[in-house]
Amino acid sequence: MDRTTIEDAVFPNCPIRNILAKLCDKWSLLVIYTLNKAGMETVRFKELQREIPDISQKMLTVTLRTLEDDGYVTRTVYPEVPPRVEYALTERTRSLLPHINALIGWALENKDAIIKDRRRANKK
């Protein structure tokens, strides 16, 4: 599936499905969270890769491109040898951070109960 053209078949202009489908994939929120941990600073690709050790180089590249395309991340390339590339969160993303942090807090509060329910459901 082309990550840039996600649309709902019934409601093609639905902003919720379109935005959440791209933002809530396996890696996007984790990349945003990791960039936010760096504070106001920029982060280099290899630093991100070290912070998220289970993401492949290709998937990190695809995720960063998608986040850049949607205006969540800026990418700055410096004309050096080898080229230096840095990533940073945009103001749009900074306005989203309180909601992401609230979701993380909710997940931490409910994690044990959810895991318990999953185990109970798997025993059926």
Q: What is the mean pLDDT of residues 9-37?
A: 84
**Residue 69 covered by a domain:** yes
- Give the pLDDT score at 17: 79
Burial class (CB in 10 A: 0-12, 13-18, 19+), 3: middle
In the block, residue with structure tokens 């969160």: 89
**Residue 111 covered by a domain:** no
Number of domains comprising the chain = 1
**Residue 95 covered by a domain:** no
- Give the pLDDT score at 1: 42
**Residue 19 covered by a domain:** yes
pLDDT higher than threshold 90 for residue 109? yes
**Residue 56 covered by a domain:** yes
Judge contact between 88 and 35, C-beta under 8 A.
yes
Q: When comparing pLDDT for 17 and 33, which is higher? A: 33
- Using the CB atoms, write b or e for 15-35: b if 16+ within 10 Å: eebbeeebbebebbbbbbebb
- Give the pLDDT score at 24: 85
- Give the pLDDT score at 124: 75
pLDDT in tens, 81-95: 988 899 999 999 999
Which CATH number goes with the domain that contains 46?
Answer: 1.10.10.10
Q: 37 is in which domain, residue-wise?
A: 15-90
- Give the pLDDT score at 91: 94
**Residue 113 covered by a domain:** no
pLDDT in tens, 32-73: 999 998 776 899 999 999 999 999 999 999 999 999 999 999
**Residue 34 covered by a domain:** yes
**Residue 5 covered by a domain:** no
pTM for the model stands at 0.80
- Give the pLDDT score at 41: 84
